[in-house]
Chain A
């Protein structure tokens, strides 16, 4: 009976909002946009009740600015958006990356470019999530494929951003944002919540961008008696701008190495490998749900498949793909764009004999299991 009470039918957007609260979210700023609007709507109701703050800002640029300010002041902060809204977030997202301010940005992908297809799903922002803001910068992007996983990965997004001081993007799409699914949510003792590491030195000895053993400087919130400078300019350990080449290199290398150094801890994949499989599939987000069904059909026909589904798309699971490429002849990459991730897969598989097979759809409809199955059958016959 206790269990029955916890069974819910909820959407991905609801799961994202509730997962964020479970992770400690206390500040949300945003500007509503389909198909992400429900995240704002739900948090506008939930946050004030637990002492949090919800602000609807005048646009996406200011929303992102407010999120950064709130995080600097000690709150776990998030914003959610879609389509053109994600483009507007990019400038301040770069600032968060540069100033190493923890924050979570949800992008419920819809058809683009521009206002595109507001109510229809797409996966056209996967490269923008990596390179949307200018300059070399670290980023983490998570890509869930179910309502329950959205809840779990939203908690993880907060944990990662707090730990590594890197903005974390959650890439959903219209299908996942709006689909209602049966879920049993975990109780708080079933997940971890991480918080930012504070300095163990008094204010006069605090270096806000100190080069520590971990590569991640301890972070203290404004208002706690530590005064320091925060800037989007390249800065030294004190936080003040510098043009000294040695300092520039030191800073940018540390900033960008943060992810490379910890990528084995960050990357998370789902992998299923039939012994002797010649056909590989690399699928992500809602498209991986279709892939899963097509793999079931293929196995019923006796066709062996090796499938990888990333839960984290940036940093990219290159090593895992390279390993798959050693033993398969083909890697099918179905995606709701013209083949953005297929290029990354091709790069990861370089030097192997595996041929990358693109399967793309951009008409606002999902790639259905039959489409992937047809490709599997065709490749199996080659």
Chain B
């Protein structure tokens, strides 16, 4: 049975969601040898403005490269949560930043509320790595990519000198994700 797994990473411009999507796609396509595409939609602004990055992972050829039936939605802002939850599957997952999102949609999907940006700031030391913390959580929640693959993809993409910081972010994210499942 072939599968098509759809992830939408949403928030605002500057939160590193396009890069996070690219890392996730590379982890799946290059290191896990699956098929993957990553696409994006953003406004004309360099910072701020709604931003979304979508990753499709499949074991077959991916024709339509955009998300239509979302398995996992990451929402780092209230606006993105409101705007993008409609395409979530009933058995999908909403992962929201609990500091940014205060109003939740009435949906059947599982909702995980995590202070992702605060975790990046307080536990890792840099707000900038919130995208990698989110990837760690997503990897644990979905098991859609292997941790080895994700680690390799992160190391090949992040700027030189930030490897340790990003691996720490991944670790914090994974621990958080594992706790969510256990809870």
Contacts and interface: CB of A to CB of B under 8 A. Distances in A.
B63 A293 contact: yes
Nearest to B36: A182
A24 interface: no
A118 interface: yes
Contacts of A377: none
A165 B125 CA distance: 59
B44 interface: yes
Interface string A273-315: 0000000000000100110110010000000000000000000
Contacts of A130: none
B48 to A, nearest CB: 14
Nearest to B55: A180
A7 B30 contact: yes
Contacts of B115: none
B37 A181 contact: yes
Bin the interface of chain A by size: 20 to 34
Query: Chain B interface mostly helix, strand, loop or mixed?
Result: mixed
A33 to B, nearest CB: 12
23 contacts: A9-B22, A9-B36, A9-B38, A119-B41, A119-B42, A119-B44, A175-B66, A178-B40, A179-B39, A180-B36, A180-B39, A181-B36, A181-B37, A181-B62, A182-B25, A182-B35, A182-B36, A289-B63, A289-B65, A292-B63, A296-B63, A368-B66, A370-B68
A120 interface: yes
A232 interface: no
B39 to A, nearest CB: 5
B64 A120 contact: no
Interface in B11-29: 21-22, 25-26, 29
Interface string A54-82: 00000000000000000000000000000
Interface string A177-188: 011111000000
Interface string A1-21: 000100111000000000000
A7 B29 contact: yes
